[in-house]
Amino acid sequence: MMSFLKVLHLVACLAALSRVQVDGRQCRCLYGQSCWPSDAHVALLESQISHPLVYPVPPASACYTEGPSSSNCSDFLANTFDGRWRSDQAGSMQSVNWETHIFGNGTIDACYSNTALGFPCEQGSISNIGVDVRSIEDIQAAVKFASSHNLRLVVKNTGHDYLGRSTARGSFLIWTHRLKNITYHETFVPVGAGPSTIHSNAITLGAGVQWYEAYDAVEAHGRILVGGLSARVSVGAAGGWISGGGHSALSPSHGLGVDNALQFTIVVADGRHITTNAHSHPDLFWALRGGGGGTFGVVTSVTYQTHPSIPLVGAFFSGNFTSPEAAKGVITEFVRIQPSLAEAGWGGYSFFDNSSLNAFYIALNTSWEAANVTWLPFFDFARNASTDSPGPQKLTVPFDSFFSWYQALFSGDQQVGANVYLGSRLIPTDLVQSDHEKVVKALLATDGVTSWHAIAGGEVSRSNPSSAGINPAWRKAISHVVVFEGWGEGAPVAVIDAAKQRLTSKVNKLEALVPGAGAYFNEAFPFEANPQRTFFGPHYTRLRLIKLQYDPKGLFVVANGVGSEDWDPSLNCRR
């Protein structure tokens, strides 16, 4: 005889199905609606998981419920720009605009840090309830619960997300942040592979591991990883970063993150826990390497190939120019030399506009003397092109390891906690080689700071474009270029819309520069006209077929992700 709880579970499943059939609309059930699971159903879920359910709240909520002078409010205000602190809060996003919700009538539901603005603290787009995952079984229970009750499901680790994919108003959250298991393998054989397929010095990272934790782990073994770089290095190492492709300053030397992934484990929509690699479920392995996070299931771990830790050289340049012509001349020369820098293994980041250029790059397998030979011609060009006093600051510096370099440069905490939209494009190598002046003219015409990420070319370009699900445009690119717009806290919808329109204009200029160009899914424009083409290119059709195979009912849906075109703009109802 069935137990009462099993009968209750079956009734819930039938009720959800009946509701969809009766009302004729295939919509998700949202928190607060009459279809939301009863207290008994929620209690059944809680009996199946290892830790109590979480009820996320806006990170600033203590400033309202406890007062601006409370210790919890002070803690929030002291850490609001700290990515590690934000990642520890179930209700926090790294870009705070994704914590808010804008209604169709132009009103905003939010919880602002500045209580003096006079607005109430409201839930915004933060999930109302979720599972604080500590085991695979927790994820399986959460997935089955969301599926049987037809809930809007989101998956989140750190909340580093420029497209708002890991939160949604009225949603049910699977929070993977506590899956911190790390295993180092002197030798690693992927599941299903023969004994001759042996990888040395691999590392398996749980879904909640962040890059600073991963870097600490491999440093203890004298190794390095191709991984993310941000303030406080708080990005997740086994979630959206790798599923979107994963770039690094090390990419020109060792490829993208997807090129270093050996194996994934993942819970798919029917609750199975699958191990996927080149030998087991190779189609899903292909899709997870660039097809987008939160799309095919809940990734529970990633195994990466590591590389030897060796000395490197850093190159630094900082110049402010009183003349736009001088700035343009120096930036044009800087862009011209990018293909040769990438081919020599140099990778890094730079930022420029009509009055300044700032850059910091690294290269492995080079001496300090060789680095000077590479960079001194550009340094001399910049000095001769500028009449400003003082002139550009420039130098090369040896570091004993990647670990020491990243610790020196990424210890700050001012990269998150603001309202921001990004736009981006991948700039092809052949365009820079054929007409670098055209490239610079177009980028400077965006009327703002352009971020030139030198994380392509070199080894990235030497990988087979069909080897992974990532957009093949990466294999022809020399740079990932990013533009952005922001706005102040508490701004009305008109101000936010104006920022969006300015950014749309910038993205249109990038598109005009490289018609049909691809973009990096993790750092991109949320309002792309054709996200399937822009983010996935010719791989989209295959990615969609794999999505249908492993998630036929569309349980996992994210903004601009594979299959998202089947849903309305809210991603709650099928079109």
pLDDT digits (tens, 9 = 90+) for 123-148: 999 999 999 999 999 999 999 999 99
- Report d(CA 138, CA 159) in Å as an integer: 20
Is residue 132 within 8 Å of 175, Cβ to Cβ? yes
- Report d(CA 474, CA 454) in Å as an integer: 12
DSSP class of residue 432?
A: H
Which ranges in the chain are annotated with CATH 3.40.462.20? 312-535
Q: What residue type is 243 in one-letter code? A: S
Tell which residue, 275, 274, 264, 273, has the closest CA to residue 302. 264
The pLDDT, as a whole number, for residue 411 is 85
- Report d(CA 323, CA 269) in Å as an integer: 57
- Report d(CA 159, CA 216) in Å as an integer: 21
The pLDDT, as a whole number, for residue 16 is 45
Q: From residue 59, give the alpha-carbon distance in Å to each of 108, 118, 155, 177.
A: 17, 17, 18, 16
Task: Give start and end residues of each alpha helix (H) in 323-390.
Answer: 324-336, 338-343, 368-385
The pLDDT, as a whole number, for residue 25 is 61
Q: What residue type is 451 in one-letter code? A: S
Task: Give start and end residues of each alpha helix (H) in 66-150.
Answer: 71-79, 83-87, 136-148
Task: Give start and end residues of each alpha helix (H) in 223-323.
Answer: 240-244, 251-254, 257-260, 282-288
Q: What residue type is 248 in one-letter code? A: S
The pLDDT, as a whole number, for residue 24 is 56
In CATH, the architecture of 182-309+537-566 is 2-Layer Sandwich (3.30)
| Residue 273 main-chain phi, psi, to 5 deg | -105, 110
The pLDDT, as a whole number, for residue 389 is 64
| Domain 312-535 CATH (choose: 3.30.420.40, 3.40.47.10, 3.40.50.2000, 3.40.462.20) | 3.40.462.20
Name the packing angle between helices 136-148 and 39-46 (round to 10°): 160
Is residue 172 within 8 Å of 129, Cβ to Cβ? yes
Residue 536, both tokens: 């996935």
The pLDDT, as a whole number, for residue 8 is 39
For the chain (575 residues), the mean pLDDT of every run of 10, in chain order, is 39 43 71 97 98 97 96 96 96 97 95 96 98 98 98 97 96 98 97 92 98 98 96 95 97 98 98 98 98 97 98 96 92 98 97 96 96 95 80 91 96 87 98 98 95 97 95 98 97 97 97 96 96 98 98 97 96 96
The pLDDT, as a whole number, for residue 533 is 97
- Report d(CA 238, CA 227) in Å as an integer: 10
Is residue 120 within 8 Å of 197, Cβ to Cβ? no
DSSP class of residue 121?
A: P
Q: What residue type is 465 in one-letter code? A: P
The pLDDT, as a whole number, for residue 419 is 97
Is residue 238 within 8 Å of 205, Cβ to Cβ? yes
The pLDDT, as a whole number, for residue 142 is 98
**pTM to 2 decimal places:** 0.94
